[in-house]
Amino acid sequence: MRKILIPLFALAVFVSCEATKAVTDAQNKGVSASKALTKSEKAFQSAYKEISLDDLKKNLYVIASDEMEGRDTGSPGQKKAGEYMVKFYKDLGIPYPKALGSYYQKVPASYMQQRGGRNLPDSENILAFIEGSEKPDEIVVVSGHYDHVGTRNGVVYNGADDDGSGTVAVMEIAKAFQSAKKAGNGPKRSVLFLHVTGEEHGLFGSEYYTDNPVFPLANTVVDLNIDMIGRDDPENRGKSYVYVIGSEMLSSQLKVINEAANKKTNNLELNYKYDDPNDPDRLYYRSDHYNFAKNNIPVAFFFDGIHEDYHKPTDDVEKIDFSLLQKRAQLVFTTAWEIANRPDRIIVDNK
């Protein structure tokens, strides 16, 4: 897949976007530009540090434990995992969307069965929400599916990477944004933390959300989707990398923002091997971001590749590279932070 050289302005995107607004506001109040930049940068750095390796590990050992029985869609084990996640958000003081009335968006069995979901029972998406301070009607979505494939022949498929890793990353990113909000530096746009169900059976939870959005799709700025970011694949063994898929499909700005976020933080190798709708593996179509993309919402899908334990009972927590998981979660957070705080909404100019 071709790579595009990013011009030098991309390296300063955080200064030219979020920080420009901070400087202008401060100068209007008689505060120097340098002090305003320092405050803005301090707010980001403080929130960024909240993405904790220890907390990623703590939460994943619960989400991907045998007790959750492989988290098959609508199963008792998946519901138990959902209860743990809801408690996490309640304990942090992160609410659900008021319009929804709870953390749960029911995804009916009938909806999934009409789309090939066989005999799946009712299930739920889980939504947590931080309202923006200046542009609350504009929504940044950070998503990941929390279902897996359950238990087969008495063997639990724990799905630590798929997608336990994405689940706990979304939780940590939410914690980081909430810490900023509590410190008086909350995001200017609203951020929706969307844990979807039914991905393994056909992207049902994300399709249900986009068919029945809690917030208008016209107001949805971006979906940053996380599906498997805790391992490496044979092609990249031992590298600090992440596959990024779809970031320039609909918006010429999103890839630039993500690359600048990467250079600002852990400078991972951003691999665009699968960043092509015509790629034979068709990964652009195979995770929950696609249901946003088909509604003309810019997306970026973060992924670690197809490794030897993909959809096997050996996808266990002990094989997770938590340092790499943390770095990838920090990248997604940094990208979300910029999009949530920049003066202008990212454009949709590629179709």
Lowest mean per-residue pLDDT among 31-40, 60-69, 225-234, 285-294 = 31-40
| Residue 29's pLDDT band (cuts 50, 70, 90) | low
| Secondary structure (3-state) at 194 | strand
For the chain, the average pLDDT equals: 92
Query: Please, which residues bridge with residue 302 across strands?
Result: 226, 244
HEC string of 245-311 equals ECCCCCCHHHHHHHHHHHHHCCCCEEECCCCCCCCCCCHHHCCCHHHHHCCCCCEEEEECCCCCCCC
Query: Please, which residues bridge with residue 135 across strands?
Result: 189
Percentage, residues of the chain above pLDDT 70: 89
Region 243-267: mean pLDDT is 97
pTM: 0.91
Query: Alpha-carbon torsion 69, 73, 75, 80, what sign?
Result: positive
Q: Is the pLDDT of residue 2 over 50?
A: no
Structure tokens at 132: 């923006």
pLDDT of residue 32: 56
Q: 101: which DSSP letter?
A: S
Q: Is the pLDDT of residue 37 over 90?
A: no
| Secondary structure (3-state) at 144 | strand
pLDDT digits (tens, 9 = 90+) for 202-224: 999 999 999 999 999 999 999 99
* Whole-number Å distance between alpha carbons of 115 and 201: 9
pLDDT of residue 33: 53
Q: Is the pLDDT of residue 45 over 90?
A: yes
